Amino acid sequence: MPSIKSPTRSTIPERVVIYGVDSAGVATELLSDSGGIVTKPDASTWSITATSDNATATATRVAEAGKSHYITSISGSYSAANIGLITVSDGAAVVGNYHTHNQRDVVLSRPFRAVSGNAVSVSLAASGTVGVIGAVTITGYTV
């Protein structure tokens, strides 16, 4: 009969943390890896909202040279009953489409990472009715 060995404890660290040093010499946690999911402390550091009356509403986080934007959530809604399309873009490339019936919130369990140096945006299609206002929000952080 074969022998069964007792499990041994791995020497692989359970949590990997990446630190950065600012101009004042203060170390701050930039990214951490817990269980294979890369996260950032205080994950959402910016949120941009746009509204429009019967026109496409677009919220954009402008590009930052050498940095990547991470989208943590998007939302879109209309001020009255309406069906429309929410589009997420990384630079000029469309990376996601979500149908909305009046209102939709999408919280990403793993943030979407945009190409370094690209702007990110989310837009909501025009309502098709004057007086029906569309609102869209993009939330995330930049590293």
Q: Is 1 within a domain?
A: no
32, 18 in Cβ contact below 8 A? yes
Number of structural domains found in the chain: 1
CA distances from 11 to 8, 27, 60, 97, 103 (A): 9, 26, 44, 43, 48
Between residues 126 and 27, the one the model is more confident about: 126
pLDDT at residue 38, as a whole number = 53
Q: Does 42 score more than 60 pLDDT?
A: no
Q: Is 12 within a domain?
A: no
What is the tens place of the pLDDT at every residue in 87-118?
999 999 999 999 999 999 999 989 999 999 99
Q: Is 30 within a domain?
A: no
Mean pLDDT, to the nearest integer, of 65-84?
96
What is the tens place of the pLDDT at every residue in 43-57?
799 999 999 999 999
| 127: containing domain | 43-142
Q: Which residues make Cβ contacts (< 8 Å) with residue 76, sequence separation at least 6? A: 57, 84, 86, 98, 100, 103, 104, 122, 124, 134, 135, 136, 137
Task: Classify residue 63 by its DSSP letter.
Answer: -
Q: Is 9 within a domain?
A: no
Identity at 62, one-letter amino acid code: V
pLDDT at residue 117, as a whole number = 96
Q: Is 89 within a domain?
A: yes
- CATH number of the domain residue 108 falls in: 2.60.120.730
Q: Is 21 within a domain?
A: no
Task: Give the C-alpha separation, 89 to 121, whole Å.
Answer: 5
Q: Is 116 within a domain?
A: yes
Q: What is the mean pLDDT of the chain?
A: 83
Q: Does 24 score more than 70 pLDDT?
A: no
Print the SS3 string covering 48-59.
EEEEEECCCEEE
Q: Is 3 within a domain?
A: no
Identify the H or E element spanning 14: none
- pLDDT band for position 28 (cuts 50, 70, 90): low
